[in-house]
């Protein structure tokens, strides 16, 4: 099998790493890839959003399977274009990807079909939105309707924060057209849970759960990021809550897509809150989560290439998706300044000389310059370790993190604290 992976972050490195273990895979390309992915695949200088260039490449190289990592090309219809040319591609069509691309679309769909989620209202006028905020009070959540690179959601604890979020999105246009409308939601209280599932258009096969750490500093302090670390399993959330999420949210979404005439094939990511009333949806994503993928795929006890091809052709066998009992912890090492403007070009030193089967360093924002590995993004590395339990996995991850150096590096020192404090 000749495989093309679209994207260039830590999620894509994890996908490439797992695909490379498949006996059926003879060649992997990654567009555009990064400094770490280059050790496993041939990196191609095509940006993930350049759908037509990616299509041309796939046709020229007789690619057997394309795997789409980020959301942007999905929203641009890469799956539709590839399917028009008879190519196998893993991911939903533009119609299915709208579940992530429009908060309004997702919330109205959940409301229509009774999928548990927070109460909400949608606004296209800033003054009306602010009047509603004052009527509801805080805490409250303000979301830009469209894709905003993970920065369009504000959990406002003060009215000043809430009104500024509306102003930023709708008046200052900091997210461009993504903020033309805002969704204002009640603030759900509880623990978050990331639950992904394979959808092949007929069957829904859940993956193991994970929990992400979004605030930049220890103890969940500071501004939100794309994710500072993650772990799996999530033992403090009861098994019956996870089963409820599968039975009340994930599996019913297959019926939702069918009822709406959407053939959804790929991953559906459910960002959930475990509330006093059970699990509720915070958001849906139309692709593998980042950094959740960096702990979920190392726990997969199966052939990822075969699974993804079967999903893309509507013939997934649930028995092919098995999981290891080991726990996994991923610690993100970020560049100086993250989640704001970051320092790039810092030389990275101290990476393990040889990969261990129980410790993997996934590259998220790296590049090679003059023979040296340097920082090239906000989240630079994701250090993932496996262990017999979460404590052992976390100890291994931090032992490796402490050996890696680059100017301005920072990371959280408490990944998996909720699980280990219970």
Q: What is the secondary structure of 14-50 as a DSSP string?
A: HHHHHHTT-TT--EEEEEE--TTGGGTSEE-S--TT-
Domain boundary among 186, 212, 234: 186
Backbone angles phi, psi at 118, to 5 degrees: -70, 150
- Asked whether residue 285 is domain-assigned, the answer is yes
What mean pLDDT do residues 387-416 have?
Answer: 97
User: How many C-beta atoms surround the C-beta of residue 308 within 10 A?
Assistant: 28
Per residue in 330-381, pLDDT (tens digit) is 999 999 999 999 989 999 999 987 668 899 999 999 999 998 999 999 999 9
- Are 169 and 206 contained in the same domain? no
**For the chain, what percent of residues have pLDDT higher than 90?**
94
Among 90-94, 183-187, 221-225, name the one with the lowest average pLDDT.
221-225
CATH code, domain carrying 256: 3.30.470.20
Whether residue 216 lies inside any domain: the answer is yes
Q: Is residue 317 part of a domain?
A: yes
Question: Based on the domain organization, do 267 and 135 belong to the same domain?
Answer: no
Q: Are residues 21 and 44 in the same domain?
A: yes
**Average pLDDT score, the chain:** 96
User: What's the token pair of residue 108?
Assistant: 């109205």
pLDDT on residue 422: 61
Query: Does 205 lie in the same domain as 175?
Result: no
Share of the chain above pLDDT 70, in %: 99
Same domain? For 21 and 131 the reply is no
32 and 179 together in one domain: no
| CATH number assigned to the domain comprising residue 156 | 3.30.1490.20
Residue 300 DSSP class: B
What pLDDT score does 150 carry? Answer: 67
Rounded to an integer, the average pLDDT of 402-408 is 96
224 confidence band (pLDDT: 50, 70, 90): confident
In this structure, the answer to whether residues 211 and 351 fall within a common structural domain is: yes
Structure tokens at 127: 């003054």
Residue-number span of the structural domain to which 174 is assigned: 119-186
From 136, 161, 186, the end of a domain falls on: 186
d(CA 421, CA 29): 42
Domain contains 337: yes
Residues 45 and 84 in one domain: yes
Convert the pLDDT of each residue in 160-174 to its tens digit.
999 999 999 999 999
Strand pairing category for 372-375 and 327-334: unpaired
- Check whether residue 195 and residue 152 sit in a common domain: no
Per-residue pLDDT at 369: 92
Domain count, the chain: 3
396 & 339 share domain: yes
* Burial class for 259, CB neighbours closer than 10 Å (0-12, 13-18, 19+): exposed
């Amino acid at each position: 099998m000749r495989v093309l992976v679209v994207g260039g972050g830590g999620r894509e490195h994890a996908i490439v790493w797992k695909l490379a273990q498949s006996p059926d895979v003879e060649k992997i390309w990654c567009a555009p890839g990064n400094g770490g992915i280059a050790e496993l695949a041939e990196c191609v200088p095509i940006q993930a959003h350049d759908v037509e260039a990616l299509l041309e490449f796939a046709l020229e190289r007789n690619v057997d399977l394309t795997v789409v990592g980020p959301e942007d090309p999905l929203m641009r219809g890469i799956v539709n274009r590839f399917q028009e040319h008879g190519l196998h591609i893993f991911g939903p069509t533009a119609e299915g990807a709208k579940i992530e691309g429009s908060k309004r679309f997702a919330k109205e769909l959940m409301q229509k079909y009774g999928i548990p989620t927070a109460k909400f209202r949608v606004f296209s006028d800033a003054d009306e939105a602010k009047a509603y905020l004052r009527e509801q009070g805080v805490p409250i959540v303000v979301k830009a309707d469209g894709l905003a690179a993970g920065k369009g959601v504000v959990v406002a604890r003060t009215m000043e924060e809430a009104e500024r979020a509306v102003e930023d999105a709708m008046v200052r246009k900091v997210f461009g057209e993504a903020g033309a409308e805002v969704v204002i939601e009640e603030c759900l209280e509880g623990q978050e849970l990331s639950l992904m599932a394979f959808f092949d258009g007929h069957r829904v096969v859940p993956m193991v759960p994970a929990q992400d750490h979004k605030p930049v500093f220890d103890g969940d302090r500071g501004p939100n990021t794309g994710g500072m670390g993650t772990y799996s399993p999530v033992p403090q959330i009861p098994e019956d809550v996870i089963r409820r999420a599968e039975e009340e949210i994930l599996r019913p979404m297959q019926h939702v897509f069918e009822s709406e005439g959407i053939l959804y094939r790929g991953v559906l990511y459910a960002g959930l809150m475990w509330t006093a009333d059970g699990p509720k949806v915070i958001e849906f994503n139309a692709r593998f989560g980042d950094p959740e993928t960096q702990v979920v795929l190392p726990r997969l006890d199966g052939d990822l290439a075969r699974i993804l091809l079967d999903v893309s052709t509507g013939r997934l066998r649930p028995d092919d998706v098995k999981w290891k009992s080991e726990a996994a912890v991923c610690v993100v090492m970020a560049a100086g300044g993250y989640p704001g403007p970051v320092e790039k070009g810092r030389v990275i030193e101290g990476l393990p000389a040889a990969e261990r089967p129980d410790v993997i360093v996934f590259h998220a924002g790296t590049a090679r310059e003059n023979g040296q590995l340097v920082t090239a993004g906000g989240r630079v590395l994701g250090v993932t370790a496996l262990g017999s339990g979460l404590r052992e996995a976390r100890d291994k991850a931090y032992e490796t993190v402490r050996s890696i150096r680059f100017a301005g590096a920072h990371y959280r020192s408490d990944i998996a604290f909720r699980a280990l404090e219970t």
